[in-house]
C-alpha cells in the first residue's frame, strides 16, 4: 500500500454543528484527487485538517502513514505545498522578491524562482509589487510558492477560481507535468469540468458527507444510462438504447443515409452530483 493520505471516520464540529461527518477516503501516491462540493460542504475544513491548521473532532488522519499534526514539524514541511486563499505574501515586495524569500527559506537554487514564475506564466511581471496585482495574479503567485519546492504532496483549494481561461489552461498543463514527476495532488473545486480534466478520482462532498467516490469515467458509467442520441437529416432527434432492438433502427437509418449526428448521452459530473444529492454543485 502506497497511501499518501488515509482518512478514516473523520468528524469535525464547530459549536456543535457538524461540518464533517464520518468522512473516509485514501489517496495513493501519484494520484490527482478532486474533492467536489458546493459552498459550505466542508472542502476547506478537510484541507485545513489534512495540513494540520485545524484539529479534527474525531477520526484518524494520516499523511505518509503518520498523524497529520506531525506535518507541522520543520523536517516534514518541505514534503507538501498548500494553496489557499489566505496568501501570506509581503505586499510591499515584488513577486520575484517574495519567491526569493521563500526559496531561501527552503534552500532552493535560484533557478527554482524562474521555474516557478514560468509555471504560473508570471515571468514578465516578476518586478510588480504584490500590492499592485489583480486577484488572479495573486492566486498565481501563491501557486508558484506552493509548487516551488516540488513537494511530494500538493493541496490546492480552488486553484483556478480567479483565473481566465488562458491561465487556467497553463496551470492545468503545469499541474499535469508536476504530477508526472511524482507529485500527488489533492484539490478542491466546485468546477466539475476542472475535475473531469484533471482528476484520476473524485469524491462528492455534500453537507459534510462523502456521497460518492471514484474515477470520473466509472461514475459516469455507474450513474449514466447507455442511451445514444441520433439526429436525423429531417431534423428529428431519436434517443435509442445500445441493445439489439435499437441497433436495427440505427442500421436502417444509416443504410438509407438519414443520419446527421450521433452522440452518447453521458452525464456530466454535475448531472451525477445533482442525481445523488438533489442539489447543484455551485
Ligand atoms: N472556523 C469556523 N467556525 C465555525 N464554523 C465554521 C468554521 N469554518 C468552517 N465552518 C463551517 O463549516 C462548514 C464547512 O465549511 P468549509 O469552509 O469547509 O466549506 P467549503 O466547502 O470549503 O466552502 P467554500 O466552497 O465556500 O469555500 C460551513 O458550514 C462553515 O460555516
Q: Which residues pair with 259 in a beta bridge?
A: 232
Answer whether 9's CB lies under 8 Å from 46's CB. Answer: no
Other C-beta atoms closer than 10 Å to the C-beta of 181 total: 9
pLDDT, tens digit only, all 282 positions of the chain: 579 999 999 999 999 999 999 999 999 999 999 999 988 999 999 999 999 889 999 999 999 999 988 887 777 778 889 887 767 889 999 999 999 999 998 889 989 999 999 988 899 999 999 999 988 888 889 989 999 999 999 999 988 887 888 888 888 988 998 899 999 999 999 888 899 999 999 999 999 999 999 999 999 988 887 788 999 999 999 999 887 888 888 999 999 999 999 988 888 899 899 989 988 776
CATH (residue range 1-74+182-224+267-282): 3.40.50.300
Residue 205 CA, closest ligand 1 atom number: 21
Residue 44 CA, closest ligand 1 atom number: 22
Helical residues (DSSP H) of 36-109, grouped into ranges: 43-50, 74-77, 95-105
CA angle (281 as vertex; 177, 216 as ends), nearest 5: 45
Q: How far is the CA of 242 from the centre of ligand 1 (A)?
A: 44
Q: How far is the CA of 202 from the centre of ligand 1 (A)?
A: 20
DSSP 8-state class, residue 94 = B
pLDDT at 231: 94
Residue 15 CA, closest ligand 1 atom number: 4
Domain ranges of the chain: 1-74+182-224+267-282, 225-265
What is the rounded end-to-end Cα distance, in angstroms, of the chain? 35
Measuring CA to CA, how many Å separate 135 from each of 60, 86, 132, 162, 187? 36, 12, 10, 6, 19
Q: How far is the CA of 44 from the centre of ligand 1 (A)?
A: 7
C-alpha cell at 104: 531561501
Cβ neighbours for 230, distance < 8 A, ≥ 6 positions apart: 237, 238, 239, 240, 250, 253, 259, 261, 262
pLDDT at 1: 58
pLDDT at 148: 93
**Grid cell 436502417 — which residue?**
252
Using CA positions, which residue lies closest to atom 18 of ligand 1? Answer: 42
Global pTM reads 0.87
Query: How many residues make up the chain in this entry?
Result: 282
Q: Can you say how many angstroms the Cα of residue 129 is from the centroid of all Cα atoms in its chain?
A: 29
What torsion do the CA atoms of 90, 93, 99, 105 make, to the nearest 10 degrees? -60
Answer whether 154's CB lies under 8 Å from 144's CB. Answer: no
Name the CA radius of gyration of the chain, rounded. 22
Q: In angstroms, rounded to a whole number, what is the distance separating the alpha carbons of residues 165 and 107?
A: 34
Amino acid at each position: 500500500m502506497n497511501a499518501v493520505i488515509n482518512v478514516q471516520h473523520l468528524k469535525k464540529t464547530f459549536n456543535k454543528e457538524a461540518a464533517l461527518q464520518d468522512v473516509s477516503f485514501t489517496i495513493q501516491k501519484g494520484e490527482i484527487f478532486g474533492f467536489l462540493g458546493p459552498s459550505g460542504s466542508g472542502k476547506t475544513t478537510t484541507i485545513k485538517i489534512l495540513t494540520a491548521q485545524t484539529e479534527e473532532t474525531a477520526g484518524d488522519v494520516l499523511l505518509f502513514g503518520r498523524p497529520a499534526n506531525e506535518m507541522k514539524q520543520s523536517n516534514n514541511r518541505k514534503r507538501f505545498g498548500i494553496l489557499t486563499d489566505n496568501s501570506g505574501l509581503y505586499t510591499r515586495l515584488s513577486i520575484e522578491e517574495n519567491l526569493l524569500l521563500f526559496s531561501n527559506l527552503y534552500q532552493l537554487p535560484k533557478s527554482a524562482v524562474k521555474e516557478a514564475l514560468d509555471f504560473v506564466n508570471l515571468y514578465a511581471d516578476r518586478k510588480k509589487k504584490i500590492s499592485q496585482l489583480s486577484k488572479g495574479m495573486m492566486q498565481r503567485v501563491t501557486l508558484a510558492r506552493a509548487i516551488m519546492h516540488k513537494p511530494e504532496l500538493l493541496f490546492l483549494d480552488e486553484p483556478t477560481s480567479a483565473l481566465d481561461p488562458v491561465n487556467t489552461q497553463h496551470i492545468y498543463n503545469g499541474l499535469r507535468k508536476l504530477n508526472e514527476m511524482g507529485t500527488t495532488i489533492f484539490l478542491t473545486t466546485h468546477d466539475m469540468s476542472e475535475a473531469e480534466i484533471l482528476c484520476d478520482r473524485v469524491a462528492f462532498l455534500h453537507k459534510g458527507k462523502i456521497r460518492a467516490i471514484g474515477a470520473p469515467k466509472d461514475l459516469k458509467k455507474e450513474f449514466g444510462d447507455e442511451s445514444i442520441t441520433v439526429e436525423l437529416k429531417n431534423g428529428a432527434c431519436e434517443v435509442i438504447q445500445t441493445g439489439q432492438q435499437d441497433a436495427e433502427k440505427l442500421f436502417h437509418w444509416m443504410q438509407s443515409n438519414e443520419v446527421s449526428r450521433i452522440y452518447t448521452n453521458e452525464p456530466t459530473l454535475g448531472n451525477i452530483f445533482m442525481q445523488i444529492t438533489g442539489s447543484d454543485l455551485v
